[in-house]
Amino acid sequence: MTKFSYSLFTYYLKSGWPKFPDFDRVYTNDMVKDHQKVAAGHQKEQGQVKDPQLMTYLDNTLRVVQSHLRMAKEIKSTTTSP
């Protein structure tokens, strides 16, 4: 189990595992929030990094994170709101 999936598992275990269909809504909300945090962190670091290899890594990774964020938002839009 990866650190991320373990963290997600423990989060939902502590929060009482939302009942369906709330699980989908809660999960997609969390995915959007998490991807927004990661994207913001990468953007912040881009302004401070001097190493060209690290900058390339951040650029490439940010593109992937932003793509995943778009997908998470799209999926979120299909889940029902409370």
Q: Kindly write down the DSSP assignment for every residue of 36-76, as one continuous string.
A: HHHHHHHHHHHTT---HHHHHHHHHHHHHHHHHHHHHHHHH
Would you state the pLDDT for residue 2? 43
Would you state the pLDDT for residue 61? 95
Amino acid at 53: Q
| pLDDT at 67 exceeding the cut of 90 | yes
Domain boundaries, the chain: 17-78
> Against a cut of 0.75, is the pTM above it?
no
pLDDT range class, residue 78, cuts 50, 70, 90: confident
**CA neighbours within 13 Å on the CB side: how many for 48?**
5
Cα separation of 69 and 64, whole Å?
Answer: 9
Would you state the pLDDT for residue 1? 39
22's CB contacts (< 8 A; 6+ apart) are 82
Express each pLDDT in 6-59 by its tens digit.
566 666 666 666 555 577 788 888 899 999 999 999 999 988 999 999 999 999
Instruction: Please state whether the peptide bond connecting residue 21 to the residue before it is cis, i.e. omega within 30 degrees of 0.
Output: yes
